[in-house]
Amino acid sequence: MTAILKVDTIQDTSGNNIINESSDTITIGASGDTTNIIGTLQNNGSAVGGTNTPFFIARKTSDQVISDAATTKLTFEATDTESSSGVFDLTNNKFTVTEAGKYNISINVYHYDSTNDILRSDGWIYKNGSAYAQWINDRGSDQDERGLQVGGSIIMNLSVNDYIEAYARADQSDGGSTNIEGSASLLLTYLSGFKLIT
């Protein structure tokens, strides 16, 4: 035998609404209440909620010298923040995806040359060994600079075992090398990422 209970409102013993239905809107609890969900809350069959993990910030703490007009992989010496130890591989300077999904990936690169010869700086996000996104700060042939900064962020759809790396390039008017600046206390050059809740 089955039974159907038809009500608009369910109240606790003090007369407070626990569940209320009005105009096809169901309200559970009231302001100030704590609602515990045992099991999985779903939206049309898909689980609701989640966490922005994994996440990481890898940064340079020391300078890296790169040759003129040479696209060079960036190395990182420290992770300021990680959702768990080893999310970013400091040995191989890359982030390898362990959970598929959409990710926000960001890069910032600070190029410095004490002789004011930088004409252009580039920063790249590489996916699986190939350039995926590029940012350019081009000052022109008569605009030599001591320091140039370049960077940005994108949303990437990543699968398990995809890997992300950062690359940079600087063009010098004198053909010399450029420092990719690092700092023990500031985020100057970094690569960061986190999984989006979708």
pLDDT tens digits along 20-62: 788 778 878 777 777 777 767 676 666 666 778 899 999 999 9
Rounded to whole angstroms, the Cα distance separating 67 from 197 reads: 40
91 within some domain: yes
Confidence at residue 49, expressed as pLDDT on a 0 to 100 scale = 65
107 within some domain: yes
Domain extent, residue 155, equals 55-195
pLDDT tens digits along 96-119: 999 999 999 999 999 888 777 888
Averaged over 128-149, what is the pLDDT? 84
Rounded to whole angstroms, the Cα distance separating 128 from 68 reads: 25
Confidence at residue 77, expressed as pLDDT on a 0 to 100 scale = 97
Q: What is the CATH number of the domain that holds 168?
A: 2.60.120.40
* φ, ψ at 49 (rounded to 5°): 95, -165
SS3 content of the chain, % helix, strand, coil (to 5): 0, 50, 50
182 within some domain: yes
136 within some domain: yes
27 within some domain: no
Residue 105 is encoded by which pair of tokens? 């990936």
pLDDT classification of 3: cutoffs 50, 70, 90: confident
State how many domains the chain has. Answer: 1
Rounded to whole angstroms, the Cα distance separating 120 from 184 reads: 25
**CB 174 within 8 Å of CB 114:** no
Confidence at residue 175, expressed as pLDDT on a 0 to 100 scale = 84
**CB 153 within 8 Å of CB 104:** yes
**The tokens 């996916």 sit on which residue?**
127
